[in-house]
Amino acid sequence: KRRESSLVAHPTMIGKAVWVAVVVACVACVMAMPSPSSSRTQMLHRQKPVVQQEQTVQRPRIPARFVLTRIAKPTGQVDHCGNCVAWAENAMEDLVQALFDLTFDACKDLCSQLPGQAEASICNALCDVVGVKEFIKIINEADLDPIYYCQLMKKCEFDDGGSGKLVDTNIVPRSGQRGNVFSVNVTFEVYNKTGAGEFLNIISAEDGSQQDVETGALFDYLDAGSYQGYVQFGTNIDKQNMVTWHSGRYHVQTYFCMGECFSNHPHSKTFNYHNSTFTLANSSDDDDQDDGPI
């Protein structure tokens, strides 16, 4: 120990120079190192996933009517898929919130969390078929995707080999006034039978005067073949969702999808999309009276 102290206290000129160089180099290394918080911030920034806008934006959804000139199933058959999806769109968010707050051992206890008697009755009927544990498992797995939920419940068909293409879209009429009903005419090909899916219209005001809205039309399945049809939507004011339909030009992106459009769940696929436009020429945009439900 005394020898070591002597070496430190009385270094030779050469040893001293080496010692100083080592110390300076070490200080430089320490100064160059990023702080732990800075390093983690950079790492998190690099790892942050890029999410498509369509998957994150919440757009008001307005009702639509879908008509095909070629029917994919016998007339009069009960639409189990459509009924299931319509229920799931209204009920799943409430059920997910209930499961987040509480635990349930019986279907009736879980379904009683829904606000409407009709929704609760359908919930009980679906839950009783598979049992409450499986029902809860399916709700969690579906993750607010109503089509995938109904496929898991065996109410909607799926076929992972399905393929098709949207050939053309056009809007009738090309111009009108607020309150008019517009039709998005679709021409499309199905090459291999599909499972359940939808046509999704995303409607954007060219001048940005209102937020984007969407309207969708569900199909249970489509056999191979050539199709024509149309999706109708209204343009009434909806103050609750800040949908005003001012004068101007509107762009419509129509997507042809198997499963829910932009979903990452199994059996989901976006085939393609087409663009079209229409124009509103309202007599007075100062009249903001609510026209009622769209």
Would you call 170 helix, strand, or coil by DSSP? Answer: strand
Tens of pLDDT, residues 174-206: 999 999 999 999 999 999 999 999 999 999 999
What pLDDT, on the 0 to 100 scale, is given for residue 66?
66
What separation, in Å, do the N-terminal and C-terminal C-alpha atoms of the chain show?
A: 90
CA distance 233 to 278: 12
> What kind and span of H or E run contains 37?
helix 36-47
- Per DSSP, 1 falls in state -
Beta bridge partners, 233, equal 182
- C-alpha dist (Å) from residue 289 to 22, 245, 263: 79, 12, 36
* Three-state SS letters, 222-267: ECCEEEEEEEEEECCCEHHHCECCCCEEEEEEEEEEECCCCCCCCC
pTM of this structure: 0.73
Calculate the average pLDDT of the chain: 79
Q: What is the pLDDT of residue 60?
A: 77
- pLDDT tens track for 130-179: 999 999 999 999 999 999 999 999 999 999 999 999 999 999 999 999 99
Sheet holding 225-234, edge to edge: 65-68, 225-234, 181-192, 163-172
For 192, residues 6+ apart whose C-beta sits below 8 A from its C-beta are 159, 161, 162, 163, 164, 224
Structural tokens at position 266: 């199994």
The amino acid that residue 287 corresponds to is: D
The residue-averaged pLDDT of 58-80 equals 63
CA distance linking residue 213 with residue 211, whole number of Å: 6
| Averaged pLDDT, 56-81 | 63
Q: Give the H or E element holding residue 294.
A: none
Residue listed under structure tokens 């080592």: 22
Q: What percent of the chain shows pLDDT beyond 70?
A: 70
For residues 220 and 81, the answer to whether their CB atoms sit within 8 Å is yes
Q: Which amino acid is at 43?
A: M
Checking if the pLDDT of 16 tops 60, the result is no
* Per-residue pLDDT tens over the stretch 202-257: 999 999 988 899 988 899 999 999 999 999 999 999 888 888 999 999 999 999 99
